[in-house]
Amino acid sequence: MNQGLAMNQVRGDYFDTFNTITSPAPQEVLQAAMDECAYYNKLLSKTVPGSDVWRINHNHGEPVTVSEHTRTILEMALEMNRASEGAFNIAIGPAIALWHFTDGTAVLPDPEKLKEAVKRADCSRICLEENTVTVPEEVEIDLGGIAKGYICDCIADSLRARGVTSALLNFGGNVVTVGKRPDGQPWTIGLQRPSGERGKEFWAAVKSSDNTLVTSGIYERSFQLNGMTYHHILDPRTGWPVQNHILTVTAVTKSSLLADAITTALFVLGPEKGLALAQKYGVSAVYLRDDGKVFFDPDLDIVFVK
């Protein structure tokens, strides 16, 4: 959406997604903040040898000392796992891998293997004591569903520390706003229409200043088989993609770390349980169902697009 006045924009390819910072601040200031993503990627990626997550997964069940960043993310991840009764689960990776969402093979997983993977996704066996993490050998963690939110918060704080008073960060659908638009109005954030052209068609718009909007949608990574759509958000209790007719859910709050964790949980839980969980955390949420019905927190400043 056009946010008015002269803007600079930097782009960065991190966390398997496309990230942008848009702001009237000088390009080199924005670039310096964006460059910090490389540090977080090295720390939090599952696939970078030596990262905190890699060390946790390769230490044969022995304790690992992690950074303050990783500790903060893990604390939120474990809390959200408990608060959502298991709907948000950072140990679901082995089940995700069986679905091959990213390599284009549209096949259903072997049910026995899926059962085994679900059994391994037991967050109650992840032990976090201050900065020490102990994870049994068969449990594997992946912060892919939560780290982007935390990093977005950190980069927004870095921009503020560099004197930036107005910016819009979009890290693959995690949006954080710093201050207001340069013209003093709040930023307007469009919610992607699931069936529409990416970045062009919106089903609603939310006003935002110094907060975050995070969306979980089934249109991101999925495949079709025999008339069914299989998408990348799994019900951790079964290992199957959630089938509750929800197309997309967006959470609006201050912390993008919280928003990232909770949107995945909200998706799995559906509107009734989800809106109650959101309220408990002071998060405003809006759901869109496949029949066009909308469920949302009445406090949310939202405009629906016909």
Q: Which residues bind ligand ADP (CB under 6 A)?
A: 87-90, 92, 96, 144-145, 172-173, 216, 220, 232-234, 236, 260, 263-264, 268
| Nearest approach, Cβ of residue 68 and ligand ADP (Å) | 22
Nearer to ligand ADP, 153 or 260 (CB): 260
Helices 256-280/147-161 angle, 10° precision: 120
| Nearest approach, Cβ of residue 217 and ligand ADP (Å) | 8
Torsion of CA 253, 39, 14, 185, to 10 degrees: 40
164 binds, among ligand ADP, Mg ion, none (CB under 5 to 8 A by kind): none
| Nearest approach, Cβ of residue 73 and ligand ADP (Å) | 13
Q: Which two tokens stand for residue 108?
A: 């259903």
12 binds, among Mg ion, ligand ADP, none (CB under 5 to 8 A by kind): none
Q: Which two tokens stand for residue 60?
A: 């044969």
Residues that bind Mg ion (CB under 5 A): 145, 260, 264
Give the residue at shortest CB distance from ligand ADP. Answer: 145
Nearer to ligand ADP, 25 or 114 (CB): 114
232 binds, among ligand ADP, Mg ion, none (CB under 5 to 8 A by kind): ligand ADP
Nearer to ligand ADP, 140 or 260 (CB): 260
Q: Which two tokens stand for residue 164?
A: 């930036």
| Nearest approach, Cβ of residue 224 and ligand ADP (Å) | 18
| Nearest approach, Cβ of residue 92 and ligand ADP (Å) | 5
Q: Positive or negative, the Cα torsion across 305, 302, 283, 163?
A: positive
3-state secondary structure of 174: strand
Nearer to ligand ADP, 133 or 268 (CB): 268
Angle at 277 between CA 272 and CA 278, to 5 degrees: 100
Contacts of 203 (CB under 8 A, 6+ apart): 191, 192, 193, 194, 196, 288, 304, 305
Which residues sit opposite 202 in a β-bridge? 192
User: CA-to-CA distance for 269 and 287, rounded, in angstroms?
Assistant: 11
Which residues sit opposite 231 in a β-bridge? 222
Nearer to ligand ADP, 89 or 166 (CB): 89
Half-sphere exposure of 182 (CA within 13 A, CB side): 12
45 binds, among Mg ion, ligand ADP, none (CB under 5 to 8 A by kind): none
| Nearest approach, Cβ of residue 145 and Mg ion (Å) | 4
Nearer to ligand ADP, 167 or 268 (CB): 268
| Nearest approach, Cβ of residue 270 and ligand ADP (Å) | 13
- Of 250, 252, 253, the residue nearest 271 (C-alpha): 250
